[in-house]
């Protein structure tokens, strides 16, 4: 058995340049890998996917799209394995959990082919590289950046956001405002995001940024986490959102 750590990715800034002739969106983003991570254990020659999930990860659908991504990655490298996943990265949270898991498969298989990585998903090349990078194109062009130690407080609402719907909303009404140009589109697709943004702002006194296409909001810095104390959840209107403290990790990080 072989254990591989799959860090979440956090998109610190995101600019969307429009739709290419092949239907993909041209992007320019700064991404970092986080200490929030899934763990995958591979038993070569076996089969099947088993999952142990943290609360608030919405992992009930893992056997669907995200499980298929693990299966697709195994097929892409021509390997078979039984895979056990300890799921900590929420589904539909804009933190690249599926891409991180696919990249873990490639690392386990010793595959660093960028064409295979981008064929599995736009975030997979970054998740395979890790660390900190400028990401361009549809995710296939990476410029490594110097590692910076940074701390974040993440708020994970009790729902996910459909990424294709967010991009469709951006196509209908493009925006170039803010560090994440998908924010306005995500708020149109899922208006409940606004209440959780405001709750995190009230808690920390900081202006939250949306992670990718959502649904996770984040603020940076130790003081923000200190303001939240040790609370694992934030409650609002009878619902609660998970609070996660995380820090950046360098390329090649394997936990600990």
Catalytic residues: 9, 123
**Rounded distance, CA 102 to CA 245, Å?**
24
Chain-centroid distance, C-alpha 64: 17
Which residues 6+ apart lie within 8 Å of 61 measured at CB?
91
């Amino acid at each position: 058995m072989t254990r591989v750590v799959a860090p979440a990715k956090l998109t610190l800034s995101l600019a969307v340049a429009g739709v290419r002739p092949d239907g993909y969106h041209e992007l320019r983003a700064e991404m970092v890998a986080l200490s929030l991570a899934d763990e995958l254990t591979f038993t070569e020659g076996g089969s099947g996917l088993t999952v142990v999930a943290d609360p608030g990860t919405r992992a009930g659908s893992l056997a669907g799209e995200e499980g298929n991504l693990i299966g697709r990655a195994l097929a892409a490298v021509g390997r078979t394995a039984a895979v056990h996943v300890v799921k900590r990265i929420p589904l539909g949270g804009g933190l690249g959990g599926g891409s991180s898991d696919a990249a873990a498969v490639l690392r386990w298989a010793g595959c660093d082919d960028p064409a295979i990585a981008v064929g599995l998903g736009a975030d997979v090349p970054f998740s395979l590289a890790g660390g900190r990078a400028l990401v361009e194109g549809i995710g296939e062009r990476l410029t490594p950046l110097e590692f910076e130690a940074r701390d974040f407080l993440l708020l994970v609402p009790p729902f996910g956001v459909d990424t294709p719907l967010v991009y469709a909303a951006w196509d209908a009404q493009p925006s170039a405002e803010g560090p994440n140009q998908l924010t306005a589109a995500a708020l149109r697709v899922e208006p409940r995001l606004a209440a959780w943004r405001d709750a995190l702002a009230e808690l920390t006194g900081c202006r939250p940024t949306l992670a990718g296409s959502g649904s996770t909001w984040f603020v940076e810095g130790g003081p923000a986490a200190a303001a939240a104390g040790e609370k694992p959840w934030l409650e609002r209107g009878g619902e609660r959102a998970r609070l996660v403290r995380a820090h950046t990790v360098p390329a090649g990080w394997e936990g600990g």
